[in-house]
Chain A
Amino acid sequence: EAGVTQFPSHSVIEKGQTVTLRCDPISGHDNLYWYRRVMGKEIKFLLHFVKESKQDESGMPNNRFLAERTGGTYSTLKVQPAELEDSGVYFCASSQVGQNTEAFFGQGTRLTVV
Chain B
Amino acid sequence: AQSVTQPDIHITVSEGASLELRCNYSYGATPYLFWYVQSPGQGLQLLLKYFSGDTLVQGIKGFEAEFKRSQSSFNLRKPSVHWSDAAEYFCAVGPLSGSARQLTFGSGTQLTVLP
Contact = CB atoms under 8 A, between A and B. Distances in A.
Name the interface size band of chain B.
20 to 34
A4 B46 CA distance: 13
A35 B4 CA distance: 16
Interface of A: 3-4, 31, 33, 35, 40-45, 48, 50, 55-56, 91, 93, 95-108
A98 B99 CA distance: 5
Interface in B68-115: 90, 92, 97-108
Contacts of A93: 44, 101
Given A31-B101, A105-B43, 15 more contacts: A31-B99, A33-B102, A40-B107, A43-B92, A48-B100, A55-B100, A56-B102, A93-B101, A98-B99, A101-B101, A102-B46, A104-B43, A105-B45, A107-B42, A108-B43
B41 interface: yes
B41 to A, nearest CB: 7
Given A100-B51, A106-B43, A107-B43, A41 B101 contact: no
Contacts of B105: 35, 42-44
